[in-house]
Amino acid sequence: MGYNLIIVGILVLVIAAFVARVWGLVRQETHDDERGSTRKSGFHIIHADYSSGMSGHQTTYKVPCDPQEYAQLFIPKETETKK
């Protein structure tokens, strides 16, 4: 009877250590893996060149660094219901 109690105790300790380790890893991963991008000010400058044989085109785009401000560019100013 005494050996069974010792074996069960060791088994409980091993399971508790395993659960604590998994819990710590999950918390660390979720803390380190925050979603989204950091907010930045200013703009990215993108230069685009196009050449097709004899003709071509060259332009520069100015894109905001802030992801929220960038996303606002894709939202229409007017919709079908707000005309």
Between residues 33 and 14, the one the model is more confident about: 14
CA dist., res. 52 & res. 5, Å (int): 82
Residue-level pLDDT at 10:
95
Same domain membership, residue 68 and residue 51: yes
Domain that holds residue 62: 43-72
Domain count, the chain: 2
pTM of the predicted structure, to 2 decimals: 0.40
Same domain membership, residue 47 and residue 26: no
Same domain membership, residue 7 and residue 31: yes
Q: How confident is the model at residue 44 (pLDDT cuts 50, 70, 90)?
A: confident
**Closest Cα partner for 40 from 4, 71, 66, 20?**
66
Q: Around 26, how many Cα atoms within 13 Å sit in the side-chain half-sphere?
A: 6
Structure tokens at 55: 């003709």
Report yes or no on 62 lying in a domain. yes
Residue-level pLDDT at 31:
63
Percent composition of the chain: helix, strand, coil (DSSP 3-state, to 5): 45, 25, 30
